[in-house]
Copies of this chain bind each other. A is one copy, B any other.
Amino acid sequence: MSDKYLVVSSDGHAGLRAADYRPYVDPEYRAAFDAALPIQVEMTERMSKMFLVDDINKDWRKGQDEGLSGAWDPSARDKVLDADGVAAEVLFPDGITEMNSPPFGAGFSMGTDGLTAELQWAGCRAHNRWMSEFVSTAPERRIGLACIPVLWDIPTAVENITWAKENGLSGIILPPMWGNFEAYHHPKYDPVWAACQDLDMPIHFHSGPSPAKDYFCGAPMDPDAVVPDGAVGAYVTEVHLWLVRPLTFMLWGGAFERFPKLKVAMTEGTSIWVPEYLALLEQRYSVTHYAQKMGDFRSHLSMSPADYFRRNVMVGASCMPRREAEMRYEIGVDKIMWGTDYPHPEGSWPYTVDQRVETFRDLPDDEIAQMVGGNAADFYGVDTEKLAPLVARIGPDKSSFQLGS
């Protein structure tokens, strides 16, 4: 038995600086790319100013140029991973507040408003191509995800999922908000669920997207909009809701009934919602007088939605505070996949080593092992034998978590 932990981060972000995506875009969309680029850059800057945090983020970035370039540079990235003791990590695209988002809204941060199918697919293909290349620089360490804007078109989605599997990617990310499209209980998505099950490609939803106009009253699209006090507080209080909704529809719609090996990960939405969510699903699924007015809404399911959750769903617990580790039995020790969110400013980097100890200190060895990497290694089929020498070199000492406090 090793005295080091195998650490797998369930939440990393990688992507090129916006302009650098150009060569990865299909030639016929490069003119559109050139036209969209300055708008994308301006919107990102406006959003950064809107949050009034330009200075905070500038401070945070100071002296971190090399670490930040790990978003696109494999050797810079591996230096950070090594220092943080992270053997492998799941790779999402970058978020909207960063300067390196994929083109044409392909990172799903903005929903579908103002986008077209053709361009969003083109943006996703560009990012997925680059991600496939990036993964190939260290395939045993990089669990790369493909962006699949499934709402527009099911056959194209299946085609792109197949391409992703054939090109070294290990799962997909779907838009958590469906706008005016059908929600994820709709049977139209069945071919996608079938492909993901057959190819063993876990589906990911990642927090971030929201009905932004509710909070920000038109900003940043409208440069004159005034953002009321409380906008950010309401957003951070609700952000996990928009993440969890797709799962609620999949669970009740029977996706896991028809596709029992389908795998889903819910990432960066905290894990504190899990206990009450499971209790609520059980309560709603149980027969009660109070629900009878609604008729029989359960006969298409052979088990409770909470049981599908326990069987098919994992939680990507980025930015995980101590409280979530203390709730681990209610959440499920086998459900929690710790993550860094590197290189995002809300993530643990560059304080990962200390924050990880703070989160897990003095918990039983085997439980820490599950949460910091074992669960993710199982879920993604990580080649632990191949990683063993790396873990021996960079993995955090188990003893460093036992402070006896």
Contact partner of A237 (CB less than 8 A), chosen from B57, B252, B355, is B252
Q: How far is the CB of A230 from chain B (nearest CB, A)?
A: 3
Contact partner of A232 (CB less than 8 A), chosen from B276, B290, B295, is B295
Q: How far is the CB of A241 from chain B (nearest CB, A)?
A: 6
Contact B253 A323 (CB under 8 A): no
Whether A114 is near chain B, meaning CB under 8 Å from some CB there, is no
Contact B185 A228 (CB under 8 A): yes
Known: A228-B186, A248-B237, A253-B228. A283 touches B272 (CB 8 A): yes
Cα A186 to Cα B226 in complex, Å, equals 10
Contact A233 B321 (CB under 8 A): no
Contact B56 A292 (CB under 8 A): yes
Q: Note all chain B residues with C-beta closer than 8 A to A266.
A: none
The A interface is mostly helix, strand or loop, or mixed, namely: helix
Known: A183-B214, A236-B291, A290-B319. A249 touches B276 (CB 8 A): no
Q: How far is the CB of A221 from chain B (nearest CB, A)?
A: 14
Which residues 28-69 of A have a CB within 8 angstroms of B?
Answer: 51-53, 56-57, 60
Contact partner of A292 (CB less than 8 A), chosen from B182, B275, B345, is B345
Cα A289 to Cα B214 in complex, Å, equals 25
Cα A348 to Cα B241 in complex, Å, equals 30
Whether A302 is near chain B, meaning CB under 8 Å from some CB there, is no
Contact partner of A229 (CB less than 8 A), chosen from B53, B180, B185, B276, is B185
Contact partner of A233 (CB less than 8 A), chosen from B182, B298, B323, is B298
Interface residues of A (CB under 8 A from B): 51-53, 56-57, 60, 97, 178, 180, 182-183, 185-187, 213-215, 217, 228-234, 236-238, 241, 245, 248-249, 251-254, 272-273, 275-276, 279-281, 283-285, 288-298, 300-301, 305, 319, 321, 323, 344-348, 351, 355
